[in-house]
């Protein structure tokens, strides 16, 4: 299956993507994680992305679309993928359609994780991320690690992402409303969207998403 996961920052896209990708045996492709990996490796791509991410702005399409395309063309994505954080504006959504069309493929579903703003602010404020792998995510109250500040998966140090400061989170939410929300209507017009209430236990949200994919 080829699936897009959308939702505001802190909605739980990365958390859900990890379970959904495992259940469906497809790779989890997060453009945010790809950028963070490039930043920690000091690549040119990471250098060009960093200032935008720190400010909570979108990294330019000229950098993002090529990176996402390269990742989708890796052998492990031949039978499907779960996109998390891409596309994030209408031109990325159109570019994705073109990329898939050129390969004779199409999307199967778009899952829209719905959570109110107060809750995403709480989720982001308490989030702790692993320095070794930004897909290893915890929350000080909702999903605490077994040992404080230590990743359960790899023993890496947990830290608070630089773009999780209150001012940057506000800008990320504004950018989400202005640039990313319009893609939901774009995909609704294609009949692809399932809205998933994303409040409650992580496992319950995963179940709702899996049920929506079976329809």
Applying CB under 6 A, the residues found at the interface with ligand AP5 are: 7, 9-15, 31-32, 35, 52-53, 56-59, 64, 85-86, 88, 92, 123-124, 126-127, 137-139, 142-143, 163, 172, 202, 205
- Asked whether position 156 contacts Zn ion by CB under 5 A, the answer is yes
Q: Are 135 and 158 in contact (CB under 8 A)?
A: no
Residues contacting 159, CB < 8 A, separation 6+: 128, 129, 131
Which one of residues 103, 105, 154, 199 is an interface residue with Zn ion (CB under 5 A)? 154
Q: Which of 2, 88, 123, 128 is catalytic?
A: 88
Q: State how far the Cα of 11 lies from the Cα of 5, in Å rounded to an integer.
A: 10
127 is catalytic: yes
Partner in contact with 59, chosen from ligand AP5, Zn ion, none, beta carbon below 5 to 8 Å by kind? ligand AP5
Q: State how far the Cα of 95 lies from the Cα of 6, in Å rounded to an integer.
A: 16
The secondary structure of the chain in percent helix, strand, coil, rounded to multiples of 5, reads: 50, 15, 35
* DSSP-derived secondary structure letter, 194: E
Which residue has 């990365």 as its token pair?
A: 14
Nearer to ligand AP5, 26 or 34 (CB): 34
Annotated binding-site residues read 10-15, 31, 36, 57-59, 85-88, 92, 127, 137-138, 161, 172, 200
Contact residues for Zn ion, defined by CB under 5 A: 130, 132-133, 136, 151, 153-154, 156
């Amino acid at each position: 299956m080829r699936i897009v996961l959308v939702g505001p920052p802190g909605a739980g896209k990365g958390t859900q993507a990890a379970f959904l990708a495992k259940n469906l045996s497809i790779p989890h492709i997060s453009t945010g994680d790809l950028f963070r990996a490039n930043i920690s490796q000091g690549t040119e791509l990471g250098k060009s992305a960093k200032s935008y991410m720190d400010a909570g702005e979108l990294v330019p399409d000229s950098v993002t679309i090529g990176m996402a395309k390269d990742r989708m063309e890796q052998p492990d994505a031949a039978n499907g993928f779960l996109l998390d954080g891409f596309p994030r504006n209408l031109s990325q959504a159109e570019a994705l359609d073109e990329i898939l069309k050129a390969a004779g493929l199409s999307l199967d579903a778009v899952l829209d994780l719905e959570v109110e703003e107060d809750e995403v602010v709480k989720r982001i404020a308490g989030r702790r991320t692993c320095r070794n792998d930004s897909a290893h995510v915890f929350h000080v109250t909702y999903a605490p690690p077994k040992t404080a500040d230590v990743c359960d998966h790899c023993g890496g140090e947990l830290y608070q992402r630089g773009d999780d400061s209150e001012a940057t989170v506000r800008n990320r939410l504004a950018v989400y409303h202005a640039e990313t929300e319009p893609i939901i209507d774009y995909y609704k017009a294609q009949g692809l969207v399932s809205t998933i209430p994303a409040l409650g236990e992580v496992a319950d949200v995963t179940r709702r998403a899996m049920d929506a994919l079976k329809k």
